[in-house]
Amino acid sequence: MTAERRTVVRATVNGRAVHAEVPVRRTLADFLRDDLGLTGTHLGCEHGVCGACSVLVDGRSVRACLLFAVQVDGHEVTTVEGLGDHGTTARLRDAFGRHHALQCGFCTAGLLVTATEMLDDPDIPKPLTGEAVREILSGNLCRCTGYQGIVRAVLDAGS
């Protein structure tokens, strides 16, 4: 039996320098959850469909279940935990509460990451329309809310 190949990952995660040796095939989601204890990155489908594992890599949202940890070597990763003091995310969290945009909460972390990127991205025309919000969030699945409250919350936080 051959030993599992390992590699070193050096990245900045939520503003903190991280240096870890991991199996070469470890996903970013497993690295964040299992090695760094950042369990806000949820694993749903593990095929990149549901968006629950969305994180920001160098400011752009990605599916952490589709990347290997080694792919973020030298990059900056921000999870939902790292967005705690972020002004846009704080407005989104407040708006999610006001507009009843969450129920079970499983999808919420991925939605917050994606919506934060959407609101902060200068290349996305503002003010946002409901159609634009629906299109951008279409990669984040929610089985509970029906999306109307989520769209209203994002539009509210963006205004």
Sorting pLDDT into bands at 50, 70 and 90, what band is 146? confident
Whole-number pLDDT of residue 1 = 63
Pick 111 or 145 by higher pLDDT: 111
Tell me the domains of the chain and their CATH numbers. 6-82 (3.10.20.30), 84-158 (1.10.150.120)
Whole-number pLDDT of residue 62 = 97
How far, CA to CA in Å, does 96 sit from each of 33, 40, 127?
A: 25, 17, 18
Give tens-digit pLDDT for 101-140: 989 999 999 999 999 999 999 999 999 999 999 999 999 9
Rounded to two decimals, the pTM is 0.94
Closest CA to 78 of 90, 65, 60, 105: 60
Give the mean pLDDT of the chain: 95
Percentage of residues of the chain with pLDDT beyond 90? 93
